Structure 1
Amino acid sequence: MFYTRFALPIMSLILVAVPAAQAQDQSPVTSIVESWIASPHGDRKAEAFVHWNEEGAVPEDCATCHSGPGLMDFLGADGSMAGKVDAPAAIEAPIDCVACHNQAASDLEQITFPSGEIMTEASPSAICMVCHQGRASSDTVNMAIAGGEDDAINSELGFINVHYAASAATMFGGAVRGGYQYDGKAYAERFVHVPDFNTCTTCHNPHTTKVVAVDQCVACHKGAETVRDIRITPADIDGDGDVKEGIRAEISTLHEKLGEAVMLYAKEVSGKPVAYDSHAYPYFFNDLNGNGMADPDEAKFPNRYQSWTPRLLRAAYNYQFLAKENGAYAHNPRYAIQLAYDSLEDLSSKAAVDMAGMTRP
């Protein structure tokens, strides 16, 4: 059962018995609740909401996005000071109706990103951006590698994870430095779409999170059957000679090549082969048998990769940033391409990375 700050079950507030004359008016609300329950934000048994069950509470650092009451605490919707979580929050308490539908959420316009940059968002997207911004930035990586030689192994370095679905960081691009941005390079800033499709909730159903603007997208982008098929550049981004594939395919190929380049650099320069597992923390592991894959006996925390150089860590950070941001092709394709291209270029200065035919926008 999910509880509001008034200690009343949300479902009982909505699914109460009503006169037949009111049933028609009530059904849309019921439909919304059912959609929310079936969504990632409403799955109270999901790892995002049960990870801390043994501890009995979600710690302050995680509570904003992993507990409905924690989000209300952060917003100040519970009467506390806004901008921080004051105490551990309830477990198995997803992001429920009242967590987003409150006055503090409606008034929210200033979003602080991990880089410290503050962005203004005067739309319903602001509440989405509180959580979908990641937990790290270029600044985080630079702080960790400060003073180190680019290709010298530092045993004190650990992998820096941006966290997951950092869509807002992608959308604002270079302005908030969510990906690792290389010195001397220019990066695309906020990706501005057409006015009717320029916020989170105009493209995603806020209750199911599913993309709902598909028909309108392909109606404007002639020749594209799906959102993934859309492209507006004639340039061959990934160097494969195909200039008709969707921009998502271009980004996917660059991302795949970046993963290969990370492994090549680790083997040739660090002298310690690395393997990646997208579902096992901390994602990069020693490739003990050299087969290029993180086998089940390798993808374990004690076998985590610990032979990082600053150059390798920068590239791996961007690889993970794109791996956990499946919508980058729609949120800010230029920024995503620039991150992958620059990481490949940096690695190619020391390892035999083939970038023939690639184009940086």
Structure 2
Amino acid sequence: MSRFSIQRYPSNVLLALAGAAILFVSGAQDAAAQASNTVESTQGLPTFVMPPSGPFSPNRIEIPNARAIASWMRGGHSDSASESFRHWDEEGAIPPVCATCHSGQGFRSFHGLDGSEKGPPEQPVPVGGVVDCETCHNANLGSVTEISLSSGVNHPVIVGEAACVTCHQGRAAGATVTRAVGEKPDDQPDPELRFINPHYALAAATALGGYGGLGYQYPDQTYSGRFLHAKPVQTCLSCHDPHNLEVVADTCLMCHTTGDPDLIRITRQSHDGSGDTSKGIKHDIAANAARLKSMIFDYAAEVAGTPVVYNGEGYPYFFTDANGDGLADEGDGGPIAYNAWTPRLLKAVYNYKFVTSDHGIHVHNPHYALELLYDSMKDLSEPLGVDFAALGLLR
């Protein structure tokens, strides 16, 4: 039996999630379709690795891993039509630094699991790959015992979290912001400053908290470390189905009265000034993130001197609104990226994006999220003349 690689699912293959089986159209026509869709990379390595294959048909041959494949197909890691894997279609290849997490082939190259030297692939990787089976099931993955974070911290990992931490730590850290602002005056716009993007889906970064140092941490403050949760929760797989990534509610119910993470509250005090402790901690984080965003807008207009607008759907998200009409100013190339960054504003915006880029931060590390938001708001309040204590917020 041999492995095959596919750039896209063959058009004559019908994948049906019926209990534990996946139905593959069998016969020579199917084999020919698979072969016609085989794409080899510039390095001679498969773009898309699936389990050992054959003319599968449930009434003729058993598929031992059918349940796992069916589950995987329901998750985001297999969604070959998503922006995560289609972003580079026009270019025809994925840059090496991006391929590490946006292609199974790139991941294996980065860790040397394919026999190559460790590090990003030497050449761009062809589009069409996803987080395939061998990304997490490669026999050599157990040799990865440490992940270097963007903050410079070398974090020890076990095989069950090596892939997760590699790709869900983001591509920037608080140290990135610190280096960018240097000794520049806090409230003076500097044309050399640019938006720093922490990246997306930052579960591993937020879970590590202050120990990981991936948020911007104000020098005069201390921060909660890794959120170890409770003893049964040790890695990402303690709560997430390893294939479809869904949260296993039964894990929550071991300690909480509900399996809905949005309703769980881990503190008896109100952090958002509302005094309401009947709602989940997610609501406090969301309220403080919204308040920080409002303060960012006020600071940009009143202190930096150039209003800003935010568009969460388009990089670099923050755009110039010089006339204050609530719309991004347009240039020859489209909306004009915000260009009046001050060090103080850059720090707050980085933390806003860091917190809001992890939609599960209320579970992964609510303490760290609340601390970053609180400190960012407090820092902006001084030049804005806001009576911060009067807001009733708690760190």
TM-score by length of 1: 0.91
The answer for the alignment partner of 2:188 in structure 1 is 152
C-alpha contact 1:344 1:353 (8 A) present in aligned 2: no
Are residues 1:345 and 2:378 paired? yes
The answer for the alignment partner of 2:96 in structure 1 is 60
C-alpha contact 1:261 1:353 (8 A) present in aligned 2: no
Give the 3 Å change call, closer, same or farther, for CA 354–164 of structure 1 in structure 2.
farther
The answer for the alignment partner of 2:265 in structure 1 is 231
Give the 3 Å change call, closer, same or farther, for CA 187–328 of structure 1 in structure 2.
same
Please give the alpha-carbon distance, in whole angstroms, between the structure 1 residues aligned to 2:299 and 2:47.
56
**Equivalent residue for 1:313, pick from 341, 346, 351:** 346
C-alpha contact 2:293 2:352 (8 A) present in aligned 1: yes
Are residues 1:46 and 2:85 paired? no
Match for 1:215: what amino acid? Answer: D
The answer for the alignment partner of 2:118 in structure 1 is 82
Higher mean Cα deviation, 8-17 or 195-204? 8-17
**1:170 Cα offset (Å):** 0.6
The answer for the alignment partner of 1:330 in structure 2 is 363
Match for 1:153: what amino acid? Answer: P
The answer for the alignment partner of 2:11 in structure 1 is none
The answer for the alignment partner of 1:199 in structure 2 is 235
1:250-292 per-position Cα deviation (integer Å, ceiling 9, x unaligned) = 1010100000010011111011111111111100011245355
The answer for the alignment partner of 2:284 in structure 1 is 250
**1:210 Cα offset (Å):** 1.4
The answer for the alignment partner of 2:297 in structure 1 is 263
Please give the alpha-carbon distance, in whole angstroms, between the structure 1 residues aligned to 2:99 and 2:362.
29
Please give the alpha-carbon distance, in whole angstroms, between the structure 2 residues aligned to 1:286 and 1:165.
26
The answer for the alignment partner of 1:221 in structure 2 is 256
**1:309 Cα offset (Å):** 0.3
**1:234 Cα offset (Å):** 1.2
Q: Relative contact order: is structure 1 or structure 2 higher (C-alpha 8 Å, sep ≥ 6)? A: 1
Give the 3 Å change call, closer, same or farther, for CA 160–34 of structure 1 in structure 2.
same
Are residues 1:95 and 2:128 paired? no
SS in structure 2 of the partner of residue 220 of structure 1: coil
Please give the alpha-carbon distance, in whole angstroms, between the structure 1 residues aligned to 2:181 and 2:318.
18
**1:21 Cα offset (Å):** 8.2
1:92-136 per-position Cα deviation (integer Å, ceiling 9, x unaligned) = 211100122112323322011001110112240121110000000
C-alpha contact 1:69 1:90 (8 A) present in aligned 2: no
Please give the alpha-carbon distance, in whole angstroms, between the structure 2 residues aligned to 1:8 and 1:274.
41
Please give the alpha-carbon distance, in whole angstroms, between the structure 1 residues aligned to 2:54 and 2:384.
62
**Equivalent residue for 1:138, pick from 170, 174, 181:** 174
**1:88 Cα offset (Å):** 1.4
TM-score by length of 2: 0.83
Please give the alpha-carbon distance, in whole angstroms, between the structure 2 residues aligned to 1:253 and 1:63.
35
**1:55 Cα offset (Å):** 2.0
Please give the alpha-carbon distance, in whole angstroms, between the structure 2 residues aligned to 1:74 and 1:348.
43
SS in structure 2 of the partner of residue 349 of structure 1: helix
SS in structure 2 of the partner of residue 285 of structure 1: strand
RMSD: 2.4
**1:14 Cα offset (Å):** 4.4
Match for 2:204: what amino acid? Answer: A
Are residues 1:273 and 2:312 paired? no
Please give the alpha-carbon distance, in whole angstroms, between the structure 2 residues aligned to 1:12 and 1:340.
44
SS in structure 1 of the partner of residue 52 of structure 2: helix
Give the 3 Å change call, closer, same or farther, for CA 7–59 of structure 1 in structure 2.
closer
Structure 1: gaps of 5 or more residues: none
The answer for the alignment partner of 1:13 in structure 2 is 52
**Equivalent residue for 2:164, pick from 118, 128, 135:** 128
Please give the alpha-carbon distance, in whole angstroms, between the structure 2 residues aligned to 1:122 and 1:283.
35
Please give the alpha-carbon distance, in whole angstroms, between the structure 2 residues aligned to 1:9 and 1:70.
11
Please give the alpha-carbon distance, in whole angstroms, between the structure 1 residues aligned to 2:125 and 2:309.
35
Please give the alpha-carbon distance, in whole angstroms, between the structure 2 residues aligned to 1:304 and 1:264.
18
Please give the alpha-carbon distance, in whole angstroms, between the structure 1 residues aligned to 2:350 and 2:56.
52
Please give the alpha-carbon distance, in whole angstroms, between the structure 1 residues aligned to 2:45 and 2:309.
49
Match for 1:357: what amino acid? Answer: G
SS in structure 2 of the partner of residue 45 of structure 1: coil
The answer for the alignment partner of 2:226 in structure 1 is 190
C-alpha contact 1:173 1:188 (8 A) present in aligned 2: yes
**1:344 Cα offset (Å):** 0.2
Give the 3 Å change call, closer, same or farther, for CA 127–9 of structure 1 in structure 2.
closer
**1:176 Cα offset (Å):** 1.7
C-alpha contact 2:105 2:125 (8 A) present in aligned 1: yes
**Equivalent residue for 2:208, pick from 172, 175, 181:** 172
Please give the alpha-carbon distance, in whole angstroms, between the structure 1 residues aligned to 2:173 and 2:377.
19
Please give the alpha-carbon distance, in whole angstroms, between the structure 2 residues aligned to 1:174 and 1:78.
34
Are residues 1:34 and 2:70 paired? yes
**1:352 Cα offset (Å):** 4.0
Pick the structure with more helix per residue: 1
Over the matched positions of the two proteins, sequence identity in percent amounts to 41
SS in structure 2 of the partner of residue 186 of structure 1: coil
Please give the alpha-carbon distance, in whole angstroms, between the structure 2 residues aligned to 1:104 and 1:329.
33
